[in-house]
Amino acid sequence: MPEVVVVTGASSGVGRAVVREFARQSPGVRIGLLARNEDGLEGARREVEAAGGEALALPTDVADAGAVEDAARRVEEEFGPVEVWVNNAMASIFAPLREITPQEFRRATEVTYLGSVYGTMAALRRMLPRDRGTIVQVGSALSYRAIPLQAAYCGAKHAERGFTDSVRTELMHEGSNVRITMVQLPALNTPQFGVSRNRMPKHPQPVPPIYQPEVAAEAIYWAAHHNRREVFVGTSSVLTILGNKVAPWFGDRYLARTGYGGQQTDEPADPDRPDNLFEPVAGDHGAHGIFEDQAHARSPQLWATKNRAWLALAGAGLAGAVSAVLLKR
């Protein structure tokens, strides 16, 4: 039977790339597409159908728990039991905390954190009685190491990681076969930096090194089909997470010096451009942003993560061969 999948934030960026990856890798896949931007949803639907799958475009604000539940019900009515649920939707604002209103902070938190909570709840209501299914939380290296100018986003991703760990232990306690995993992403070339609310003097940019969203999509698809507690993507993510564990004080000082400039291009910000914090920005924005020339299309680290069992075997074999040679001598 074709796989049934739900992807939130499916209209653009990582979500759009994830939709394409499932359409490419899973023959005849049926995907429920959740996002606010109807133009982007329609574009994603056409791409799925062109690849031989089926898609249901469901304009949904994931900050509304009732709307998420309704969307989940619609997907199962149309396509059958959901097997994979990907929580990817996000909203953000680039600004120092002192320049963010309580309403803005709450909105970014509701979409990015509570959206994943509501999606998880809707998925579990359906997966637990069947005792099967996988929930993929799309996280970030920033869920371990926060940076300046993104307090709302970093706070939401930290919360999402804590929430996911809690739910995982509940599932383990119950002996459930439902699985929850989290994919921690690096900086990505997505439209986020052109549509998120911005109060910095210059245009926002991801902190290099930058990867294409297809790298993230590859990792998310793989995580949905392999039993891995957590997946780190990109050498920069691994180094950031490990570095924060060893010397968080160094990260504080380094980011205090470089975190502002590193998140801005040389181009002045347009104070009049629309943003998607409260309402979607019209148009189909696709998966990619404006940083094509700087973005890496491959991640050797992700390849190593996916093949770590094989690499461990090869390493053991090599060590054995070296030991044999040394013993002969």
Closest CA to 275 of 61, 42, 115, 108: 108
Q: Cβ atoms within 10 A of the Cβ of 194, count? A: 18
Please check whether residue 222 is in contact with residue 174, taking contact to mean a CB–CB distance below 8 angstroms.
no
Query: Per the residue annotation, which of 113, 118, 153, 221 is the catalytic one?
Result: 153
Please check whether residue 94 is in contact with residue 16, taking contact to mean a CB–CB distance below 8 angstroms.
no
Q: How far apart are CA 40 and CA 22, in angstroms?
A: 17
Closest CA to 126 of 70, 83, 62, 91: 83
Indicate if 211 belongs to the active site.
no
CA distances from 112 to 46, 178, 261 (A): 26, 23, 25
The set of catalytic residues is 153
